[in-house]
Amino acid sequence: MQPELLTWLIPLPPVLAFALIVLFLNRSNRLSHTLAVGAMTLSWALAMVVFWRAITTADLGLHPIAASINWLPAGREALRFGVLIDPLSAVTLFFVAWTCLAIFVYSIGYHNFGKPRDPEDRPGLPPHAGGIEPMYARFFAFISLFAFGMLTLVVSDNLLLLFMGWEIMGLCSYLLIGFWYGKESAKKAMIKAFITTRVGDVFMLLGIAWLYSYTGSLNFREILYNPELLQSLHTPAFPELAARIPALYPMLSSVSVAGAIGLLLFMGTVGKSAQWPLHVWLPDAMEGPTPVSAMIHAATMVSAGVYLAARFFPLLTVGWHEGDPLTTAMKVVAFIGAFTALFAATIALTQNDIKRVLAYSTISQLGYMVAAVGIGAYAAAVFHLVTHAFFKALLFLGSGSVIHGMEHGVAASSTHAADAMPGQEGPAGVRKTHEHVDAQNMSNMGGLRRKMPVTFWTFLIGGFALSGFPLITAGFWSKDEILADAFGNGHLAVFLALALAALLTAFYTMRQITLTFLGQPRTQAAEHAHESVWTMTAPLVVLAVFAVAAGWAGIPEHFPGLGGLVPNWFQDFVVGALPEHPETLAFNPIPLLTSVVVALGGLFLGWLVYRRVRAGAEDPLKKPLGLLYTVWERKYGFDELYSWAFVRPAYWFAGTFVYRWLDRGVVDGILHGVARIALRLGSALRNYFDVPVINGTADRVGQGIKRAGQEFRVLQSGRVQQYLIVGLVFAGILLSYILVVKP
Amino acid sequence: MIPLSWYLILAAALFCIGLYGVLARRSAVAILMGIELMLNAVNLNLVAFWRYLTPSLIAGQAFAVIVFAVAASETAVGLALIISIYRRRATTVADDINLMKW
């Protein structure tokens, strides 16, 4: 079959599954998950066929798999929708399809399919004793829609369709983060995630509008593969504004139209990929079920942000060539990326929630990719996007498996409630019969490697990939490439920030592994934890394979020893998506040594510091770091800052201004005034017109008739003979009239 | 031969007697009898006119026969009503049967 046709079909199965589950199948859990997983498998198979066709096509960048139709005729032109598989979307499609499928299968086990439903479980709250999720079918409907959004986004050939997929995912992330809507924290998190990403999306929409008004098109190929068009965008964006404000002249005049549009679109990335300053929603998104976290943090939403940044790389870098100093727009992007990478890594050091650590690590790793885009290391950014998707999905699903095992442990140990550990109190109100142990807090774990071997080994692989364990793991190759690019092109500040972030990454990853899996169990719950079912562990194993093997596709050619054993296929393939291909960098030992040292050093230090943490003991870093630890633990106070700067003013605006003044005062005032006038008019009409005239006339007519009837009714005596006499009289009168008067 | 006017005078007298009975008698049965008298007075007229004016046509006799039939049925219905009322109200006095009052 035509690969174009297959590409059209890729997003369809999940959306059909969504519709069928929502409309017809939601009563049956088995049918729902069979349909959802079946649809995703179909999409996966289509995606693999298309991917295979893509990588076997010579010069895919020049001759991409593309097709489009007229979708919305508008005036002389028509808005065209279509599909496009170029090297960038091909590799994205590859990892999206794999991770989505793994997550779908994993969800079956995670939501305890096959277990009876606990009568105490309520829809909207997580099941607490290993019963099946009360809203099982609904979950599969939502993730199917989510997968549809992502696949649409990936295969789209224009910015508008991409934006639609983007927003569908935004909706689904809202629905899924708040999947357990009975929890207050989940409700807040869903609103936070939705509104925060909306901020970025508004800027992105502005960028789309600006781009369209300048170029008259939203098609990727027409804009990004058109050097003349791109050159024409290389004009100052704000000449008048720059001339009017001399203080900002150097900064404003250096922003080209392309750079400004690129930055606006990049704001969409900042929101979706949780970059500083819009990073706050992502850690809170951990309130959703774990497969959701993996969907949002690995396979779909956050990747979509970086995908967009990579997609608009040619626009962002207009007027820049390999080796030139960075343009202003690129500097902004590189700064935000590098800053976020370091910033989130420091917060991750101090978090105790197993999923929150991963959330901050995701923010940090996304910062890597964004920084790579910012310094022009396109291939490295995309490479890290792919490898990160695999190992982060692995880590999230692994952490879900850990939480799942811990929850079983909590349920099992509740029978030994008497010897529950003191001083550990989970969120209140989950189950009052015993002291609750927070199944997500790493200080309650420990020693899980013996209880959950598959989870341990796969988590270890994922964690090492995240830390960039040298030579073996995928994360090493992709991270090394970014560092090498930053160093080789002389972006020393970015290089240092990223290297430091890499050190912290290795440290907190090892901290997490040590606290969770090594040592001795610190609670009864950890003692009673056990391995998860095969539907959960099988996806872990598959993803673990990719977390290692995905790196082999991109080993630099000039790497000593290993380089050249496998061709650096990835780089050659992916840069095909760009109109002009950058040079490959010469090998430099400094960044390589740096990344090896920080990875191994961080891992070792993490193990050293955390290997002997006792139950109930405080974090060993707390004392030496002092105030800094508190600042990190409180996440630099961004939540409080935003609450003070935006949320509370918004509440004030809504409560005092809009509600009390505008709504109660002005709108209600007008309404009440109109109502009062109408009331007066109505009562006047009633008193002076309706009652005397209309009612009076009607009453008088009625009364008159009634009275007349009373007067005349005596005539009707009911006596036949009287009637007859009257008849006789009248007959006599008539007769005499006829006989006497008439002739 | 007896002149026509004699018959007519007899019929008028009969009619007046019947009318008086209808109007003045208290008993409903007597009222019915008065009605019979009035109807037969009319019949007398019809037959007399036929005999004296158009003896060759049959219409006068036919008319009289029809009046007999109507009178018989009217009496039957009337008597049935009177019996029914008598059973209910134990009276045949016309003034007491004022059911058609307001």
- Residue-wise DSSP of A631-666: HHHTGGGHHHHHIIIIIHHHHHIIIIIIIIIIIIII
CA separation for the pair A359, A361 (Å, rounded): 5
| Span of A59-68, A239-248, A325-334 with lowest mean pLDDT | A239-248
Rounded (10°) CA dihedral A714, A716, A720, A723: 90
On the 0-12 / 13-18 / 19+ scale of CB atoms within 10 A, A325 is exposed
Query: Is there a cis peptide before residue A291, judged by omega within 30 degrees of 0?
Result: no
pLDDT greater than 70 at residue A429: no
Residue A426 has pLDDT above 50, yes or no: no
Mean pLDDT of A653-680: 91
A711 in reach of chain B (CB within 8 A): no
Count Cα atoms within 13 angstroms, Cβ side, for A505: 39
Partner residue facing A721 (CB), from B94, B99, B100: B94
| CA proximity to A718, closest of B95, B88, B30, B77 | B95
Contact A275, A336 (CB under 8 A): yes
Q: What percentage of chain A exceeds 90 in pLDDT?
A: 14
Q: What are A69's strand-pairing partners?
A: A81
Q: Which band of pLDDT confidence, cut at 50, 70 and 90, is reported for residue A699? A: very high
Torsion of CA B31, B33, B35, B38, to 10 degrees: -130
C-alpha to C-alpha distance for B87 and B96, rounded to whole angstroms: 14
List A73's β-bridge partners, or say none: A78
Question: What's the predicted TM-score (pTM) here?
Answer: 0.75
pLDDT at A417: 45
pLDDT tier at A57 (50, 70, 90 boundaries)? Answer: confident
Q: Select the residue of B23, B97, B98 nearest A724 (Cβ to Cβ).
A: B23
Instruction: Compute the distance between CA of residue A534 and CA of residue A455 in angstroms, rounded to an integer.
Output: 11
- State whether B99 and A718 contact (CB < 8 Å): yes
Range of the domain at B84: 27-94
Comparing A146 with A320, the larger pLDDT belongs to A146
pLDDT reported for residue A290: 83
**Residue entry with tokens 């909207």:** A124
Average pLDDT over residues A593-610: 86
Q: Are A31 and A75 in contact (CB under 8 A)?
A: no
- Is A239 a residue whose pLDDT tops 80? no
Question: How many helices and strands (H and E) does chain A possess?
Answer: 34, 2
pLDDT digits (tens, 9 = 90+) for A179-190: 888 888 888 888
Among chain B residues, CA nearest to A710: B102
Give the pLDDT mean for A21-46: 88
pLDDT score at A1: 63
- Disruptive mutation site among A713, A714, A721, A735 for chain B (greatest number of B CBs within 10 Å): A721
Residues of A whose CB is below 8 A from B95: 719, 721
Please name the member of B22, B95, B98 whose beta carbon is closest to the beta carbon of A724. B22
* pLDDT for res A40: 92
Please classify residue A676 by burial: count the beta carbons closer than 10 Å to its beta carbon, then call 0-12 exposed, 13-18 middle and 19+ buried.
Answer: exposed
Give residue A269's pLDDT.
Answer: 87
Per-residue pLDDT, averaged over A327-340, amounts to: 87
pLDDT in tens, B47-93: 999 999 988 998 889 999 999 999 999 999 999 999 998 998 888 88
- B50 Cα to chain A: minimum distance (Å): 24
Q: How many CA atoms lie within 13 A of A587 on its CB side?
A: 13
Say whether the ipTM exceeds 0.90.
Answer: no
Q: Is the pLDDT of residue A468 over 80?
A: yes
Q: Considering only the beta carbons, identify the residue of A717, A724, A725 that sits closest to B101.
A: A717
Task: Give the single-character DSSP code of A581.
Answer: P
| Chain A residues near residue B19 by CB distance under 8 angstroms | 728
DSSP A99: H
Question: Across the strands, what pairs with A68?
Answer: A82
Range among A205-219, A409-423, A435-449 with highest mean pLDDT value: A205-219
Number of C-beta neighbours around residue A144 at 10 A: 30
At A424, the pLDDT band (50, 70, 90 cuts) reads very low
Residues 6+ apart with CB under 8 A from A406: A437, A439, A440, A444, A445, A525, A526, A529
Task: Name chain B contacts of A724, Cβ cutoff 8 Å.
Answer: 22-23
Under the banding of pLDDT at 50, 70 and 90, the label for residue A602 is confident
Total number of residues shown for chain A = 743
Structure confidence at residue A182 (pLDDT):
87
Distance CA A571, CA A215 (A): 30
Count up the domains in chain B and report the number.
1
In the predicted structure, residue A432 carries a pLDDT above the cut 60: no
Other beta carbons within 10 Å of A211? 23
Interface of B with A (CB under 8 A): 19, 22-24, 31, 94-95, 97-102
Whether residue B60 is contained in a domain is answered as: yes
pLDDT in tens, A537-558: 888 898 888 888 887 777 776 6
A84 φ/ψ sector (left φ>0, alpha ψ -120 to 50, else beta): beta
Burial A6-26 (b: 16+ CB within 10 A, else e): bbbbbbbbbbebbebbbeebb
The pLDDT value recorded for residue A563 is 63
pLDDT of the residue at A421: 44
Query: Where does the pLDDT of residue A318 fall: very low under 50, low under 70, confident under 90, or very high at 90 and above?
Result: confident
CB-count burial class (<10 Å; 0-12, 13-18, 19+) for A254: middle
Task: Provide mean pLDDT across the span A68-81.
Answer: 79
Look over chain A and give the mean of its residue pLDDT values, rounded to a whole number.
83
Q: What CA–CA distance (Å, rounded) separates A467 from A348?
A: 13
Spatial CB neighbours of A569, under 8 Å, sequence gap ≥ 6: A553, A554
Given an 8 Å threshold on Cβ–Cβ distance, is A720 in contact with B94?
Answer: yes
Cβ neighbours of residue A380 under 8 Å, at least 6 residues apart?
A372, A478, A481, A482, A484, A485
Mean pLDDT (whole number) for A497-514? 89
Residues of B in contact with A716 (CB under 8 A): 100-102
State whether A719 and B94 contact (CB < 8 Å).
yes
Residues of A in contact with B100 (CB under 8 A): 716, 718, 720
User: In angstroms, rounded to a whole number, what is the distance separating the alpha carbons of residues A463 and A402?
Assistant: 14
A561 versus A266: which is more confidently predicted? Answer: A266
Q: How far is A706 from chain B (nearest CA, A)?
A: 14
- From A717, A724, A728, residue closest to B98, measured CB to CB: A717
CB contact under 8 A, B23 and A725: yes
Given CB atoms, is A728 within the 8 Å cutoff of chain B? yes
Asked if residue B50 belongs to a domain, the reply is yes
As a whole number of angstroms, the longest Cα–Cα distance in chain B is: 55
CA distance B80 to chain A (A): 17
Alpha-carbon distance values, A291 to A70, A99, A106, A441 (Å): 37, 11, 7, 18
Give me the pLDDT at residue A419, please: 43
Query: What's A288's DSSP letter?
Result: S
The SS3 assignment for A256 reads strand
Q: How confident is the model at residue A26 (pLDDT cuts 50, 70, 90)?
A: confident
Given this model, what pLDDT does residue A231 score? 80
State the CB neighbour count (10 A cutoff) for residue A322. 12
Partner-chain contact B98 A728, CB within 8 Å: no
The residue in chain B having the minimum alpha-carbon distance to the alpha carbon of residue A727 is B23
Residue B96's closest chain A neighbor by CA?
A719
Cross-strand partners of A236: A256
Contact residues for B102 (Cβ-Cβ < 8 A; gap 6+): A713, A716, A718
Q: Are A596 and A479 in contact (CB under 8 A)?
A: no
Residue B77: CB atoms within 10 Å: 10
Query: What is the mean predicted confidence (pLDDT) over A286-312?
Result: 83
A718: distance to nearest CA of chain B, Å?
4
Q: How far apart are CA A76 and CA A84, in angstroms?
A: 24
For residue B62, being part of any structural domain is answered with yes
pLDDT reading at A521 higher than 90: no
